[in-house]
Amino acid sequence: MNRERPVGISDLSLYLPRPHIELNSLVEYRIQSNPSLERRLRRALSTTGQIDMRFPELWQDNSTLAAQSTHNLLTAGSAPDISKLRYISVGTETPVDHSKPVAAYVEGMLQRGGLDVPTSLSTFQVQHACAGGTVALMGVGALLQLSSREDESGVVICSDIARYDAPSTAEITQGAGAVALSVENDPKLVEIDLATPGYSSKDVDDFFRPLGSTTAKVKGGYSVQCYHEALDAAFLDHCARRGTEPKKVLAETDMFVVHVPFYRMAITAMSNLLSKHIGGAEHDIERFLADRGFYDGLDPTRSIGNIYSGSVYMALMFQLAERYNALGDDIVGKNVLLASYGSGNTMVVLSMRVAESAPQVIAEWDIERILADSRETSVEEYEAWLEFPLDREAYAQRIEGMEVPRGAYYLASIREDGYREYRVG
């Protein structure tokens, strides 16, 4: 492997489904139906800091979310040469088939959507709760470094639909979305240090989704505890591999990006890590993070929810945009520390560095448009989505007559044998 050849992310594309529901309204509805839930639900809103939640259109599933984000990535102004595409990998915990990867469905949708995606490539899927996308990113990055052809590229898609039992306190931490990452040698956005990732892994039951279940099972308090423990262990492993003291690594980091199951979890995780290894009063830690744009970069996640594998890369996109707005071209060379958690569990801590061409890439993003492209829905429409997945006949009846926007990927039908058929509007 040629470690002299830098590898990393050249661009990011965030796709969010348009439907969203305001969580205060949802909580009020749940309380009216069952007043005994009031204390727990109001406490959950306060504890998480969430405001709104995105969820898919009735004609969307996880494969269409993944395809839409990838289509947007590959048709952007700074898109890589599609003919040089070698890998399409999806990190997800929302598969649509027990055998065929979402990545294979995405390849077919892109081709039907008019993109000249070659067949001389590898499609595969990585699963480890919310960390699958990060494992896929490292794998594709290493393969590109190893390749004899320096101009090859890959796409890593972090796509998920977060669902829990409803009503429950976990319901307000649902969400949906996809982030597509363009991965290349000599990357334009951030370089990744694949030599020093820090790992932590344990076999625990803080979160899981049994076979046949459409909703995840989570032990809230225990999962938070596992997140904290895994973050500290993986961070220390990362420091050891860098040969640098933890306090020095933190002090030299310009941007912190962590998995965001909910807004306040990310803040608590970073505050605890800093308190343990740098010390200082609470206001000192708050100033340390504020000076690095951590809170401002994190704020948009409150109106989206948890998108599982994509959460950490959505946070990376928001953080880079915030720092570019604050620093301009001086963002180049800044150090990023990224922590990706997957329940069950694993934690990966990576060092990144902002690349020379990053300002030009970030300047092309239109995050305000992405966030504004939404529509507030009724509780009735939200609950119609909760009824999914439907059997093939019920699904056909549900989408009959629905208008799919031009250029949108959608689940057209489910065959008698269960195979999913996708089309482009």
Q: How far is CA 151 from CA 78, 84, 146, 400, 423, in A?
A: 15, 7, 12, 45, 31
In 3D space, the residue among 88, 87, 86 whose CA is nearest the CA of residue 66 turns out to be 88
For residue 162, give the 3-state DSSP assignment.
strand
Q: Provide the CB-side half-sphere exposure for 422 (13 A, CA).
A: 26
pLDDT at residue 77, rounded to an integer: 79
Sheet containing strand 19-22, edge to edge, reads 52-54, 19-22, 375-376
Q: Kindly give the confidence (pLDDT) of every residue in the chain, 425 residues in length, as a single tens digit, with 9 standing for 90 and above.
A: 345 789 999 999 999 999 999 999 999 999 999 999 999 999 999 999 999 999 999 999 999 999 999 999 999 977 889 999 999 999 999 999 999 999 999 999 999 999 999 999 999 999 999 999 999 999 999 999 999 999 999 999 999 999 999 999 999 999 999 999 999 999 999 999 999 999 999 999 999 999 999 999 999 999 999 999 999 999 999 999 999 999 999 999 999 999 999 999 999 999 999 999 999 999 999 999 999 999 999 999 999 999 999 999 999 999 999 999 999 999 999 999 999 999 999 999 999 999 999 999 999 999 999 999 999 999 999 999 999 989 999 999 999 989 999 999 999 999 999 999 999 99
End-to-end CA distance of the chain: 43
At 1 the pLDDT is 39
Q: What is the pTM of this model?
A: 0.97
Going by C-alpha positions, the residue among 215, 123, 108 that lies closest to residue 161 is 215
Element containing residue 175 per DSSP (H, E)? strand 175-185
Maximum Cα interatomic distance, the chain, rounded to a whole number of Å: 64
Tell me the C-alpha distance between 175 and 14, whole Å: 14
Domains located in the chain, CATH noted:
7-382 (3.40.47.10)
Q: Using alpha carbons only, what angle is made at residue 73 by residues 178 and 122, rounded to the nearest 5 degrees?
A: 80
- Name the one residue in this structure whose structure tokens are 């594309």: 13
Q: Could you write out the three-class secondary structure of 222-287?
A: HHHHHHHHHHHHHHHHHHHHHCCCHHHHHHCCCEEEECCCCHHHHHHHHHHHHHHHCCCCHHHHHH
Euclidean distance between CA atoms 237 and 196, whole angstroms: 9
Residue 268, both tokens: 């608590």
In this predicted structure, what is the pLDDT of residue 3? Answer: 56
Contact in structure between 181 and 9 (CB atoms under 8 Å): yes
Residues in the chain: 425
CA distance 304 to 311: 10
> In whole angstroms, what is the distance from residue 287 CA to residue 294 CA?
10
The token pair at 118 is: 């070659």
